[in-house]
Structure 1
Amino acid sequence: MRGHNPEAASRQRHAYATDLLSGLIMSIPLINAIRDVDAGDRRGFGNGMLASSSNAVFQRKLEQLVREFDELNQDDAQLPFEQRFGTTVVLALRRWQYGLFDQFKKVKV
């Protein structure tokens, strides 16, 4: 019998969660509405396990992207209305613990 490999088990749980969350996110109406993206549209999804320091770095990058989007919007405000189109950006970062993983938590003695 082979020994328990915690790293392999963690990767397996991560892969399962990614598949599960991808399916759940794709069922959200807004995401579903852009399932077939046009040339000027993009969508993305990421899932992982970050340390607090990496989470903070990513939050700063999200804030920078929002600032850059606002700058582009202000720059383009000078263009004729016919050359612009409505654009929405949704960025989110949230810590989570999926209940299905509760069974894998170590019990504190």
Structure 2
Amino acid sequence: MTTTANLIAVLKEELKAARITYAGLARKLGLAESSVKRMFAKGDMPLSRIDEICGAIKIDFAELAQRVADTQPLLSELTLAQEKAVVGDKKLLLVAICVLSQWTLEQITTSYRLDEAEAIKYLAQLDRIGIIELRPLNRYRLKLAKTFNWRPHGPVMNFFRENALQDYFSGGFDRDDEALVLVHGSIGKSLAPAFVERLQRVAQDFAQQHQTDQKLPMQHREGYTLLLAMRSWEFGAFTLLRR
């Protein structure tokens, strides 16, 4: 569905919610009912007319635009080609991670050695790839669902396996705000999915707290990386000792 079609669909829903018929809208706009029907059927109306309709159903244009944006399908996973494009340039991957964290352009350029023009270039690339929708004043809308994950064996996860895992686990995890927990045990197979679901909820809680704390000053925030995992696994050296 195109953006225009989504706009018309949202307007129709709002008219229905406001209990305004095409005839009633026509009276408010000073038009013939047939003209209103034709306008909605063709999906052809100027912004001034959309403003008039918003006035009739008592919502402002910004609210309407947000509702249209909310109807756009969000991605829970990128294609292989999209991930290859992201991981092909380390600066682009950096900006992609930043937008996943909902960083502003100013936060990106303040925190990393990227000037504004360079950062905007990478935001434009992410727009072309389909990760964000770049908007005026270099703001953007993330086009990824809350359930988004990198492909398990895709280019991005492979990159982090090869380049980041050793660096991550080499840390001491000995501060009060750090933890490394390793637990091994045998449980009923039917219970494993429930533990995975709990881990996913923790990850969602962490992501939600990140969103909430964006309003805090930078000096009151600290960057953390939460890594959760659970799989059926045995250390290879132990497997070799099995009978």
Q: Deviations over 1:51-94 (max 9, x none)?
A: 21121110010011011001111111110111111100111001
- State the aligned residue count: 75
Q: Which letter maps to 2:213? A: D
Q: Deviations over 1:12-70 (max 9, x none)?
A: xxxxxxxxxxxxxxxx55233124x1122222111111221121110010011011001
Match of 2:192 in 1: 55
Cα distance in structure 2, aligned partners of 1:42 and 1:96: 21
TM-score of the two chains, using structure 1 as the length reference: 0.60
**Higher mean C-alpha displacement, 65-74 vs 91-100:** 91-100
% identical equivalent positions:
23
The yes-or-no answer on 1:100 pairing with 2:233 is no
* Structure 1: gaps (5+ residues): 1-27, 104-109
Match of 2:180 in 1: 43
Structure number, greater radius of gyration: 2
* Structure 2: gaps (5+ residues): 1-165
The yes-or-no answer on 1:31 pairing with 2:184 is no
TM-score of the two chains, using structure 2 as the length reference: 0.29
Cα distance in structure 2, aligned partners of 1:52 and 1:81: 44
Cα distance in structure 1, aligned partners of 2:222 and 2:209: 13
**Higher mean C-alpha displacement, 58-67 vs 93-102:** 93-102
Instruction: Please state whether the residue corresponding to 1:88 is helix, strand or coil.
Output: coil
Cα distance in structure 2, aligned partners of 1:69 and 1:31: 20
Cα distance in structure 1, aligned partners of 2:241 and 2:193: 24
Cα distance in structure 1, aligned partners of 2:189 and 2:204: 23
When the two chains are superposed, the root-mean-square deviation of aligned CA atoms in Å is 1.8
- Looking at both structures, which has the greater relative contact order when contacts are Cα pairs under 8 Å and sequence separation is at least 6? 1
Match of 1:70 in 2: 207
Flag the structure with higher helix content: 2
